[in-house]
């Protein structure tokens, strides 16, 4: 299993060439000050996922998790999202209104693995589930599929325990393949696709979803010796 951390090493990403009012600079510095809390939340969740994956290796002779990716949003991304959604630009507002400052993507081999890992993770006593959005059973109109969990996890600090929100996306290798390429295309041409491109993307997503189901059935046959 591969663990990839996409946390930007330069917390002032893309800010060096821009001039901001002093008040905004102070706001950015306040975001930087709490970044470690979100990094800690990611470490807590990733450790739990790695422990589950290791247990499967020794008890089931397989690893359901293929890869784990994580990232903490940069101050610029947080500020832009707050402005876009019409929220106050402050650390308190970000922590109250944004669920994805800390983001973790879990890539599994099979569809059943997604729900197994999700169930095992959220059944742990110190994980508080805020919201579950199932884009596998109910795909987005463009064909996007993934299971999204919004959770709170305890982070142990010198001043005490703080519960921090994080978004966990769990998907198969095939789902991640489609989502990654769709994201690249959207970056180039924007989200307002021409109708023919949108239709083709949806068709590709449906083919990939069908392949996922067929691979799950093959695995089940092999596992059950049939």
Taking the C-alpha atoms of residue 215 and residue 116, their distance in angstroms, rounded to an integer, is 17
Q: E strands, 25-183, where?
A: 65-72, 102-108, 128-134, 147-157, 160-172
CA nearest to 172, candidates 121, 223, 142, 216: 216
Taking the C-alpha atoms of residue 189 and residue 171, their distance in angstroms, rounded to an integer, is 25
Taking the C-alpha atoms of residue 127 and residue 133, their distance in angstroms, rounded to an integer, is 17
Q: Catalytic: which of 35, 167, 182, 195? A: 167
Helices marked H in 2-74? 22-59
Taking the C-alpha atoms of residue 58 and residue 61, their distance in angstroms, rounded to an integer, is 6
CA nearest to 107, candidates 49, 42, 194, 30: 49
> Are the C-beta atoms of 7 and 37 separated by less than 8 Å?
no
> Are the C-beta atoms of 66 and 1 separated by less than 8 Å?
yes
**2 part of the active site:** no
Catalytic residues: 167
């Amino acid at each position: 299993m591969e663990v990839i951390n996409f946390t930007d090493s330069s917390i002032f990403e893309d800010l060096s060439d821009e001039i901001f009012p002093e008040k905004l600079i102070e706001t950015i510095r306040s975001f930087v000050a709490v970044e470690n809390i979100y990094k800690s939340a990611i470490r807590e969740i990733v450790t739990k996922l790695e422990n589950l994956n290791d247990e499967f290796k020794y008890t089931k002779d397989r690893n359901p998790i293929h890869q784990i990716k994580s990232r903490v949003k940069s101050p610029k991304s947080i500020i832009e999202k707050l402005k876009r959604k019409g929220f106050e630009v402050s650390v308190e507002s970000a922590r109250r209104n944004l669920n994805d400052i800390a983001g973790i993507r879990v890539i599994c081999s099979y569809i059943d693995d997604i729900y197994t890992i999700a169930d095992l993770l959220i059944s742990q006593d110190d994980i508080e589930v805020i919201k579950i959005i199932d884009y596998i059973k109910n795909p987005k109109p463009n064909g996007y599929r993934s299971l999204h969990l919004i959770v709170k996890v305890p982070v142990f600090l010198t001043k005490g325990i703080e519960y921090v929100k994080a978004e966990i996306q769990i998907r198969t290798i095939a789902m991640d393949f489609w989502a990654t390429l769709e994201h690249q295309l959207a970056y180039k041409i924007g989200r307002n696709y021409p109708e023919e491109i949108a239709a083709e993307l949806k068709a590709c997503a449906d083919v990939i979803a069908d392949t996922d189901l067929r691979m799950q059935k093959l695995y089940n046959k092999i596992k059950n010796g049939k």
